Amino acid sequence: MACILLYSRVAPSSYRHTRTCVCIFSISLSLSYICYCLLFSSDAIMQKPSDPTQNCLRLRSDGGKKLQQKSPYCTLPLDARATREISLHEANQSNASVNHNTVRNFTSDRPTTNNLGSGKFGNKKLPNAIIVGVKKGGTRAVLEFIRIHPDVRAVGTETHFFDRNYDRGLDWYRCLMPRTMESQITMEKTPSYFVTRETPRRISAMSRDTKLIVVVRDPVTRVISDYTQTLSKTPDIPSFQDLAFQNQSLGLVDTSWNAIRIGMYALHLENWLRYFPLSQIHFVNGERLITDPAGELARVQDFLGLKRIVTDKHFYFNRTKGFPCLKKPESSSSPRCLGKSKGRTHIQIDHDTIEQLRDFYRPYNVKFYEMVGQDFRWE
């Protein structure tokens, strides 16, 4: 203001007017600069407020414990959601360093969307029921048919725990199981269990209440089916007769060939009855499974204590495969049949060879009928 008064006295009016404008403009510019400095000199004023929980999460994921301890962000308590996110992140980080042999430790403890919070999504449990045999008897069909039932959850692949992976422990075995609710039954199937000597004792050690399912069929038909499958994978194997007989002209069957030995059902059942009562073993008729799948599945459901939900409305007979298939479910555009290996045409075996095998198996069959109280009419 002093500047304005001074020039008003000594300068012409037009000149004074110009200088006054310049002075006012300078003052305005100075005031603007001061305001700018006040507004932008402090990060605390201009920085966008951030969520301390998110900063803590970022620090833990990026810098580990030391960075977290130095950070003021992590002095605040985390809410439940952030805690879950941190746990998930750390679990995923640890997953990268876990090798295949220790997968059981990671799988059982790692949080997932299925087991966060309460157990309403189910838990992994040891099986209540196991399909233990026999190979080429129809075990895959029974498993696929029974898993239609809403109260049954089953492992899709053969675990081979009790015959090949027993040293991995029950925790590893449990991790292979699907999640089930309390009202559901957990199942698995591995046909080689029936003929493995150690398996009955091992399953009994897990639980004496385990229910066992054995699918049996005419042992002569079974051994031919077994050989047909092997031949499809290994075309250069010896002939069926060479493998089945020590001396065919004398009718001496080679029981060291596993395909022959599997069909000696009475021999294997004796071992199982040392550890389980007959009431805990259900025998599915493999021949009747093809002609009347609903009837056989009704008996399986009864044995497992399930309501009869799987009925004849679920099946139709596929004439091409010569085997029953599941009718088209609502969620699928086509019926569900078993794989290409099911219903495969057997190789042709001459009549004399078949009769020799029937003579061999006859005493084992009769004893088996007596043991289970059921005549399968394989003669």
Which residue positions form the known binding site for 3'-phosphoadenylyl sulfate? 136-140, 217, 225, 342-346
Query: How far is residue 267's CA from residue 283's CA, in Å, rounded to a whole number?
Result: 15
Contacts of 293 (CB under 8 A, 6+ apart): 141, 145, 312, 315, 324
Query: How far is residue 303's CA from residue 296's CA, in Å, rounded to a whole number?
Result: 11
Task: Tell me how far CA of residue 85 lies from CA of 24, 72, 88, 147, 353, in angstroms.
Answer: 59, 20, 5, 35, 67
Given the residues 48, 70, 120, 136, the one annotated as active site: 136
Angle, CA 251 vertex, CA 247 and CA 257 arms, to 5°: 65
Residue with tokens 């233990």: 132
**Does residue 211 carry a catalytic annotation?**
no
Pairing mode of beta strands 252-253, 211-216: unpaired
Helix or strand or coil: residue 271? helix
DSSP H helices in the chain: 2-10, 13-40, 43-46, 52-70, 80-95, 103-109, 139-146, 170-175, 199-206, 219-233, 240-244, 258-262, 265-272, 286-291, 293-303, 351-372
Nearest 5°: phi and psi at 219?
-60, -25
Element (H, E) at 282: strand 281-285
Q: Which residues are annotated as a binding site?
A: 136-140, 217, 225, 342-346
Greatest alpha-carbon pair distance for the chain in Å reads 146
Report, as residue numbers or ranges, the catalytic residues: 136
